[in-house]
Structure 1
Amino acid sequence: MHRRHFLRFSALGGSTLALGSLGFWRNVYAAPATPSVGAGPYGPLADSPDAQGLRLPRGFTSRVIARSGDVVPGTDYAWHMAPDGGACFAQPDGGWIYACNSETTPDGGVSSVRFDAKGNVTGAWRILSGTHVNCAGGPTPWGTWLSCEEHPRGLVWECEPSRPGQGVARPALGAFTHEAVAVDPIGRRLYLTEDTPTGRLYRFTSAKWPSLEEGTLEAARVMGDPRTGVKVQWVPVSPQAPAAMQAAGRETTAFPGGEGCWYDGGVVYFTTKHDNRVWALTPLTGRLEVLYDAATYPSAPLRGVDNVTVSRARELFICEDGDDLQMCLLTPDRKVTPFLQVMGHAGSELAGAAFSPDGKRLYFSSQRGSDRRGVTYEVKGPFRARG
């Protein structure tokens, strides 16, 4: 490796804080952190890639689920180009579905792959068509996939993963360059990122939960330095245009290049690529914190932050767009480490990280592969469980 394998953040007064706790990592920057070299909780990456071109920790294996333009093995469905954001959905028979966006135009949309209870692929189909540049999105607690269009008039589309269909536009969630969305089932709100240099962090409050047809859209206003923890205020904005283009929206805060967004255990995690930061918002208290800032820790392995998901052990798995194509891990004991690396895919990006419902399999894609065709993978192994 050409740079250090991980960064360990200093502990706070000997206390132990877990991802997802209220006020998570409060005052994490109060004491200086000391970078050091070593392996993550799953051990070092293998020196050589496996047959699929992945460097993985010991005990983990991979397989290719689909390649863009090719029929998904075990089905008659050709996988879409430029696979991006995705999520898994449990099914009544013990199987699950992985829904995955296509970040292309003129026809982006979303495809699904169906697995049985043993992890065998049993089907694949298109669940959304006629949309453009579908980047990331997010799952809902009621089992639908919210697919986000990443263009200036982009919408959020609500899709049913288990059946082919067009999906339903949700214009109340805004018309802007959408990236990802996370649903807080406790506070009954949605949080959305915007992938532009002047992007905002939005929240949506349904007029009649859980319907997404009507409601109030707001953008975040932050006063002070979020590296020390601040409170967020929310400013109502129109869903007809990006907040930065509105008079009220000019009072709100820019989050440059908003990317992945995921809810877990009372916390909304999101990333911003232009400043290479990972953030945590606790909706119950309104507290916003920077968990990771690449500029502060130049020795750390994580660059080009993108899609994010959370494991059962409350570890953040963060995809890289570019850099050395790693998926990095941000753990509750304040380590940033590589979990895997895709070799031979220069110019690509990693996306769509999502765990199967039992937490034992991780799905993700290399969007442009080695030949401009995307590859969607499954990684299986001894993922840690919540203690």
Structure 2
Amino acid sequence: MIQLYETGGASDITILQEGLSHDKCRVLFENAARLLTTRSQARAAEILRSVPFRVVDATNHFNDEFSILHAEVPLTEYERLRRSPATGDEQAYEQIAQVLTELGTSIRFIAIDLVLEHPVHPDVQRGLGLRQSEINKLVSKYIGVSGGYLGDLTYRSHHEFYAELDLDIDPYKYDGTTRERFIKILNESAPNVQAHIIEGVLARFPVSSSEIRTEETAAEIRSWIMRLRTGPQVEQPALRITSDVVERALLDAQELLLSTGATSGVDRLHTALHGYLREVCGGVGLQTSEGASLTDMFKQVREGHSAFQEMGPRSEDILRVLRALATILDSLNTLRNKASFAHANPELLQEPEAMLAINAARSILHYVDDKVHRHGKPAG
């Protein structure tokens, strides 16, 4: 604890409990700030309005009981306030204490503590977890908040929520409302734990149980779960050359990804890529046999489509990349036939490998569609 102001006497402080309620503090501080502003003590008014102070009861080793102005602040704010007396704010703290005392709340000390933050999981720090905007949307646009409570979660049922998910998480170790505790827990959890928690949210707060819990939002949340479990995804392409079969297969693949996982989506994305390459070939008169494989059609597009005749700088290196993609397509054929739900295969791709196959297929779709589209655009 750092003391920013003291009236004298013993300087040790032990906080006992909260003195004034949040509402009483808000009224007191606003009136004090207005009075400070009227007296041209603008810096003191600014500090009182910007720092999350509260009036708390405290004692010392003499067992004196008194009130202090206290705030818990994050690291950056803590360091700024720690240096503030040396930068000319000492008088402002004295003015704050005097005005609050004048308004009936005697303040012996003004002090701050550092908020001790729970460690964030390394994968979350690397950007592999939920984004803050997603957490905010989950809380306010799907679960809903009223009076600091998250949905129908009380402090007790919030604790039980994690126990029912078989997660070793104790929300009582966190300060704040159920909303604040839930957000802190999500922020610090590993991506797979975040996925498990929001799966629990969808189960506890099903679609249509509130007017804000729409199927559209739930579908978006399920896409977060998939990303958290499998890692970042290559975006589903919006193809310029397409057909009903291709679009249906792409839609099926996306729905399967969100509902049952990447392994379920491999077959449908394979179908989409197969149908797409056939459309590209047909669009420029390249003949393909009925049983042509992905590898065969990709070779026809690469060698016979005019869009691929000019590869730009480092064309030899680009050609090697394209040949490597042909090898990938050949492997996708095998994975689809031998390790997906296309057939009654005894062994299936695990989720990370299935997502790798889907990302590879999507990357090829993006590249071929963009290359053909740019070739067809008029110069300039």
TM over 0.5: no
* Larger of the two Rg values belongs to structure: 2
Quick check: which one's strand share is greater? 1
Quick check: which one's helix share is greater? 2
Give the TM-score of the pair, scaled to structure 2. Answer: 0.20
Structure with larger RCO (C-alpha < 8 A, sep 6+): 1
